[in-house]
Structures are given as structure tokens and as C-alpha cells.
Structure 1
Amino acid sequence: MMSATHSRGLSARSMLAWVMPALALSLAACAGLGGGAAASLLGTEWRLVEIDGEALPERPAATLAFTEPGRVAGSGSCNRFFGSVSFSGEKIGFGQMGATKMACLGQDSRIEARYFAALQQASRYELKDATLLIHLTDRPAPLRFVRTRP
């Protein structure tokens, strides 16, 4: 005689085989963004206004967007970039990053190089109203961003 579960076509074991991977993926996605203030960054976009204490021109804009849990994208002034981000409390770290390879000249090239290098030195962040500060290892002044999209 078959049990009620077998007569419906799914055993408890096969149900778990479907549910557990989905649950694991959901938890992994949440871990990439952390909780608290980090979770409030999801879906936001920021414009870099200061690097190493130096104010930056408004155009071309260097940006940072928290596109989905554990993922970022943006512009370095000339090139678009994308990559991974992780949070632990107030700590922030940018992982593997990729970028387009468009020609970039003069001041824009220098800003972009400094910005990309600074992201790799990120150590902690502060969220103050419409301002995001990303503090860096071995640099006295943080990256300062202003919110451009909720």
C-alpha cells in the first residue's frame, strides 16, 4: 500500500530536494547585503563627490549603485563597472570587479583610476541621510557620495 505522499507524486525527501537549494540561495543573497543600514542600500544609487578630500566635478559622474544583494555597478567617469560587495556590521568589502575598456583621457582617467583603486581599499561605511561615506585602509579621507536615487 502506498502512503498518501507517494500517491500525490512527491515524497518528503524529494520535496526537501527542491526546497533546500532555494532556501540556501535566498540566505546567501541576504548575507551579501548584511542587515540594518546595509539592507537599506539595496536599490540606491550614489554619485561620488569627494575622493582623498578633493571635490570632484559633477560631470562626468563617478557613480555607485547597489543593484541587488551582494552586487554593485556604476561608472568610474569613463567606464562602467560591476562586481560583488559584502557587508558585516559596519564593514564593507568589494570583491571581484570588472569594467568596460573605453578610452579615458586626462582628468577623467585620473579620477577613474583613483576611484577604482579606492574601492579595493574599502574597510567600513557610514550612512548619514543622503550621504554615504566609505572609509578606506591607508587613506585619511573617505570616499564621499551623495544619493541620486532612493
Structure 2
Amino acid sequence: MNVYRNLLILSATSVILACSSVSDHAKEIVYQCGIQDVTATFANETVTLAMRGQQQQLQQVVAASGAHFKSNDGRTSYWSKGSEATVTWHDENLPLCIEQGKLPNNVAFSGNEPFWLLTLNRDHVSYTTPEQELEFAASPTAYDDDNDWLIALRAAGEEVGQLRINTSICYDSMSGKASPYSVKLVLQGNEYRGCGGETTQLIQGQPWQLSAMTGSSGSMLDKPSLQFLTEGRLVGTDGCNRFFGHYSVDGEIPRLNVQGATKRMCSQASMTFAQKFIENLNNTSKIDIKEDKLVLKVNSGQQLTFAPKY
């Protein structure tokens, strides 16, 4: 699958508060839940979710707001509010699902030298630097041949700046942290460049299977894998045993911490490989995305390369 293929672009409707009833939706909506595509097809008072080659029909239930559907066994659910939805698939909580062609309702961009922070909340923009804080109205103006969305920043009805958003992976100029959007801000006669969105949009939603680990060789009972779940939970297999732990990508350096595993006995070669695999995970210093591959770079200079499972 193409991890970038469906990274979201800002459409004119992304800055307008959408209604949340089923009747306001198109018959079929495709969501991006991290790197996982989910298709929701509506008919009468049901919605059919499709992902990973499977389908499941859900029944509408009463909700205080939005459109809420559940499976008969309660293990799968869909709850949409505007252009966003929360989806649970067979007890697995997917990351925030966003309609393709739209940004999250709230998204932040930042840049360095000089430092600046800009938060886009539908049709409102907050801009902050160490010296000033400004507020603007935001309105989309055009979508050009470079796959950029142009957002006009307005104050007192006058255009005072412009935000250009591109759906290409961006790396922070100081930390190297990966983000899903590149941005150019023109304001007060100055031009600034930066990155935006959450790193989790690039890594959550599917299991990742190991395709290469530098400096190691050996046979494995199972192919090692890992999955970045919501709420910072990390799970996977080291090629012999299943493991669990936590992760954080909020700071400049990612933190992966494997805390426990099952105790199955495997061949000596498999267990040696598994031990090195876990050691590398715990010493990850950078997350990179290259040609649909997840690359974890380790303090020792080694790296682990993964491909999406589905």
C-alpha cells in the first residue's frame, strides 16, 4: 500500500463545521485512520465498514451527537462527528479517522529560526512567536498544480498573509522529527517554512512487519512485527514471543519501551535474533518514512526497516 497516497489535503469544506447526521454524508465515505484506509457505506439505518479485505455491517444506535453505529456483538463501532470518526474494529481502537481530502479539525504547524507556531482550527488561526500572539480568520482560496492548498489569513476583512500546505512528509529542521505536512507561511512580508500534523498519522493504523535489520542474521519462527496502538501502547512479536510496552513520539526523540513478553522457547538462533531486535527497539533514536517503509534508526547506528502488513 502507499502510505502517502491518502495523506490528507485541505479542502474548502475542511474549514466549515460539518453536520453530523447520516443524511448529511455521501453514500460512501473513505477515511484515513493513520495509514489504514476504512470505507463506510451507508444504507437505511446501517453502515458497512470495509478494511483489510473484510467487511462488517453495523446498526445505528442512539447518540447524543453525531452518527453512532455498533455491531451486534459490540466489538466493532463507528461514531462520526463532522469529517472525523472514531472506529473500533474487533476490539481494536483505530487512530482518529479523517475523511480523505480533509485535515483534522485541529492541526498545528511550526518552524525554527525564528521559532513560530500556528494552529489551524477549522476557520480560525492562532499564530505565536516569542514576541507576539496574533489571531486570524482563515479561508481557502485555491488548490494549485503542485498539490498545495492555499489558505488566506484575514484580519478585519483584509488578507494579511497566506498559508500553503502540501501533503508531503516533512522533517523538522532541528530535530529531524517526521510530520505528515509541509507548510509555507507568508506573513508580514516574511516567509517561513515548517512542518505540521502528528507523527502518529504516519505510523498508526496497521501492524508493521520487519523486512531488514542491519548487523543481524538468523532464522525466526515468526516474522517480527510491531504495532503502534492508540494511547501509546506498543505490541508485536520478536520472531519468537509476543511482546508489549509503550511508546511516545511527542518529543524530539521517539521513545520505545518493551516492558514484557511471553516465555515461549525457540531455537538459540531465533532467541538471539529476538534479543537483538528488542534491544534495538528500546534504543530507537529516530523514526523515518521512506518509500512506504518505516525505518527505525538506533543509537548504535543500526536500523530496522518495516513494511505495512496489509
TM over 0.5: yes
Instruction: Quickly say closer, same or farther: Cα 1:112–1:96, change in 2 above 3 A.
Output: closer
Deviations 1:64-108 (A, max 9, x none): 111223111000011000110001356311135110011021321
Structure 2 partner of 1:95: 257
Structure 2 partner of 1:50: 212
Structure 2 partner of 1:84: 246
* Aligned pairs for 1:109-124 within 5 A: 109-124=271-286
Question: Please, which of 141, 146, 150 is the counterpart of residue 307 of structure 2?
Answer: 146
Secondary structure at the counterpart of residue 114 of structure 1: helix
Q: What is the CA–CA distance in structure 2 between the aligned matches of 1:67 and 1:117, rounded to whole Å?
A: 20
Unaligned runs of 5+ in 2: 1-95, 97-178, 180-196
Q: Which is helix-richer, 1 or 2?
A: 1
Q: What is the CA–CA distance in structure 2 between the aligned matches of 1:109 and 1:141, rounded to whole Å?
A: 19
Moved more, 34-43 or 101-110: 34-43
Structure 2 partner of 1:108: 270
Q: What is the CA–CA distance in structure 1 between the aligned matches of 2:244 and 2:219, rounded to whole Å?
A: 22
Higher RCO by CA contacts (8 Å cutoff, separation 6 or greater): 1
Q: What is the CA–CA distance in structure 1 between the aligned matches of 2:219 and 2:307, rounded to whole Å?
A: 13
Q: What is the CA–CA distance in structure 2 between the aligned matches of 1:90 and 1:67, rounded to whole Å?
A: 20
Structure 1 partner of 2:230: 68
Unaligned runs of 5+ in 1: 1-29
Q: What is the CA–CA distance in structure 1 between the aligned matches of 2:221 and 2:267, rounded to whole Å?
A: 14
Secondary structure at the counterpart of residue 124 of structure 1: strand
Q: Which is strand-richer, 1 or 2?
A: 2
Q: TM-score, normalised by structure 1?
A: 0.66
Q: TM-score, normalised by structure 2?
A: 0.34
CA contact (8 A) 1:49 1:57 kept: no
Deviation at 1:53, TM superposition (A): 4.5
CA contact (8 A) 1:90 1:125 kept: no
Secondary structure at the counterpart of residue 294 of structure 2: strand
The answer to whether residue 231 in structure 2 is matched with residue 41 in structure 1 is no
2:274 corresponds to which letter in structure 1? E
Deviations 1:90-134 (A, max 9, x none): 631113511001102132111101101111111110022420011
CA contact (8 A) 2:240 2:265 kept: yes
Secondary structure at the counterpart of residue 88 of structure 1: coil
Q: Sequence identity of aligned pairs in percent?
A: 26
Q: Tell me the C-alpha RMSD between the 2 structures.
A: 2.6
Q: What is the CA–CA distance in structure 2 between the aligned matches of 1:53 and 1:113, rounded to whole Å?
A: 13
Q: What is the CA–CA distance in structure 2 between the aligned matches of 1:122 and 1:84, rounded to whole Å?
A: 13
CA contact (8 A) 2:285 2:298 kept: yes
CA contact (8 A) 1:52 1:143 kept: yes
Q: What is the CA–CA distance in structure 1 between the aligned matches of 2:263 and 2:246, rounded to whole Å?
A: 19
Q: What is the CA–CA distance in structure 1 between the aligned matches of 2:309 and 2:206, rounded to whole Å?
A: 8
1:119 corresponds to which letter in structure 2? L
Secondary structure at the counterpart of residue 287 of structure 2: strand
